[in-house]
Amino acid sequence: MSEQVNLLELTKVTKQFQSGEQKLEILKDANLTIFPAETIAITGPSGSGKSTLLGLMAGLDRVSTGSISFEGQSMQDWDEDQLAQWRRKHVGFVFQDFRLIPSFTALENVALPLEIMSVPAKEANRKAREILQRLGLGERTHHFPHQLSGGEQQRVAIGRAYVHEPDIIFADEPTGNLDPNTSSSILDALLSLHQNLRTTLVMVTHDHDIAQQMSRQVSIKDGQCRIANKGMLSSEGGQG
């Protein structure tokens, strides 16, 4: 019997922010396990801590208390350089507002993560071109972001997130700025790359229909992660 290694494991994660004199406790003893190659939706009301949770899991921010481990290694033990290195290699991001570099072409935007990893330019461009083609943007490689529609810009951003074949993609409301038709094409793009590359996909979404297409749904309530399965709500963690 081979034991499955968890990709990410959050144990009693608490995150507080100081707001003037007040301490805001956004996450409180939250537990969550993320498995390799799964798709998971994070839902919850505005301000419930979805982006905060994503930032912690992606190593962009630090927990106040508790721990997060990646493949069994505690991220708290890493310094900023180690965290940044881990992010570059293992993580991809997709944001609601695309965040492409305006002065870079689609190809240059997508090739950037590879160049940061010191992949030679020729190889980086080849991979970037290939993924843009898969995303239906083969004719748009030399376009700048302002010459692309919202949906096209988001597909470029998806190419950039996947190009270095990370273990995990974090998408924070990736369809939040897009109309329903475009949203469904963005979801298709994310899911098709997920299926091809077996990358774990963690997606924050307000859209119930989109959440239903992920293999698991987690909602944040009272600072904790609740697993929603087949209409049943239960709190993860606690008793074994």
226 binds ligand ADP per the rule CB under 6 A:
no
Interface with Mg ion: number of residues (CB under 5 A): 2
Cα 172 from chain centroid (whole Å): 6
Contacting residue, 48, 105, 109, 154, with ligand ADP by CB under 6 A: 48
The CA–CA distances, whole Å, from 204 to 62, 97, 150, 169, 231 equal: 19, 14, 19, 11, 18
For 23-62, what is the HEC assignment?
Answer: EEEEEEEEEEEECCCCEEEEECCCCCCHHHHHHHHCCCCC
Work out how close the CB of 102 gets to ligand ADP at its nearest, in angstroms, rounded to a whole number. Answer: 25
Work out how close the CB of 49 gets to ligand ADP at its nearest, in angstroms, rounded to a whole number. Answer: 4
Select 97 or 115, whichever has its Cβ closest to ligand ADP.
97
Q: What is the largest CA-CA distance in the chain?
A: 54
Burial of 230 (0-12, 13-18, 19+ CB in 10 A): exposed
Pick the stretch among 18-26, 93-101, 154-162, 231-239 that binds ligand ADP (CB under 6 A). Answer: 18-26
Contacting residue, 51, 175, 205, 219, with Mg ion by CB under 5 A: 51
Tell me the C-alpha distance between 173 and 48, whole Å: 14
Select 50 or 155, whichever has its Cβ closest to ligand ADP.
50
109 binds Mg ion per the rule CB under 5 A:
no
Select 115 or 236, whichever has its Cβ closest to ligand ADP.
236
By CB under 5 A, name the binding residues for Mg ion: 50-51
By CB under 6 A, name the binding residues for ligand ADP: 17, 19, 24, 26, 44, 46-52
